[in-house]
């Protein structure tokens, strides 16, 4: 995750102060962002790769954080994104209501669809590695959306959405757009001649 992506998620978490958080795709973000939680908050992180799940769970020292391993339904899905059929149990594992959802694992489009019914009306969903427009073709339930993409084709980028909450109450949207535009121009000048 790039600094410009970390800064957006940090701002959202700091200003939202969520009680219940969900993350599809455990990793270093699980350990990093959960340090920002208020003492009463909870964070559920779901990981499909059993070896990686164990590695993250072993490093977790935060009692507010629960890391669970939910194996792929189709273990031969390969290295790609995966489909709903490949990750049905992973996508459907969480229940309840969440104030903050971070999607940073497999089957992102299906996780986003599932997040529609899990996120509170004033809650926020963040999709990391959002440089894929196909994720957001059905995201109309989120009245407030911010999509920041850059020169990286299949990685990078971030999407933030909420059903009812104006994203400007959580982060300086114009500032972050300006930062991304500036960095994209630099990348284009340096790497895309």
Judge whether 157 and 150 are in contact, CB under 8 Å: yes
In angstroms, the Cα distances linking 148 to 71, 127, 128, 145 are 30, 10, 10, 10
pLDDT value at residue 39: 94
The residue ranges of the chain whose pLDDT is under 50 are none
What is the dihedral angle through the alpha carbons of 153, 184, 25, 174, rounded to the nearest 10 degrees?
-130
pLDDT value at residue 154: 64
In angstroms, the Cα distances linking 131 to 42, 107, 143, 156, 174 are 29, 14, 20, 6, 19
pLDDT value at residue 76: 81
pLDDT value at residue 145: 92
Spatial separation of the C-alpha atoms in residues 108 and 24, rounded to whole Å:
8
Helix (H) or strand (E) holding 158: strand 158-162
Spatial separation of the C-alpha atoms in residues 172 and 34, rounded to whole Å:
22
Using one digit for the tens of pLDDT, what is the confidence trace for 41-88? 999 999 999 999 999 999 999 999 999 999 999 988 777 788 899 999
pLDDT value at residue 192: 58
pLDDT value at residue 1: 72
Q: β-strands 42-47, 144-148: how paired?
A: unpaired
In angstroms, the Cα distances linking 49 to 21, 39, 70 are 20, 29, 8
pLDDT value at residue 157: 79
pLDDT value at residue 61: 93
| CATH numeric code, 3-191 | 3.40.50.150
pLDDT value at residue 26: 94
The domains of the chain are located at 3-191
């Amino acid at each position: 995750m790039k600094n410009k992506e970390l800064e957006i998620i940090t701002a959202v978490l700091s200003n939202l102060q969520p009680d219940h958080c969900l993350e599809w795709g455990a990793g270093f973000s699980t350990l990093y962002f959960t340090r920002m939680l208020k003492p009463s908050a909870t964070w559920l992180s779901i990981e499909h790769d059993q070896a990686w799940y164990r590695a993250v769970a072993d490093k977790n020292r935060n009692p507010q954080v629960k890391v669970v391993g939910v194996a792929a339904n189709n273990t031969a899905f390969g290295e790609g994104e995966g489909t709903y059929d490949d990750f049905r149990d992973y996508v459907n594992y969480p229940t309840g209501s969440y104030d903050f959802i971070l999607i940073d694992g497999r089957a992102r489009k299906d996780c986003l669809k599932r997040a529609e019914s899990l996120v509170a009306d004033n809650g926020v969903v963040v999709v990391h590695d959002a440089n894929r427009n196909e994720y957001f073709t059905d995201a109309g339930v989120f009245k407030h959306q911010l999509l920041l993409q850059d020169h990286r084709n299949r990685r990078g980028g971030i999407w933030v959405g909420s059903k009812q909450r104006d994203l400007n109450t959580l982060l300086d949207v114009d500032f972050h757009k300006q930062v991304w535009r500036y960095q994209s121009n630099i990348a284009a000048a340096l790497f895309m001649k």
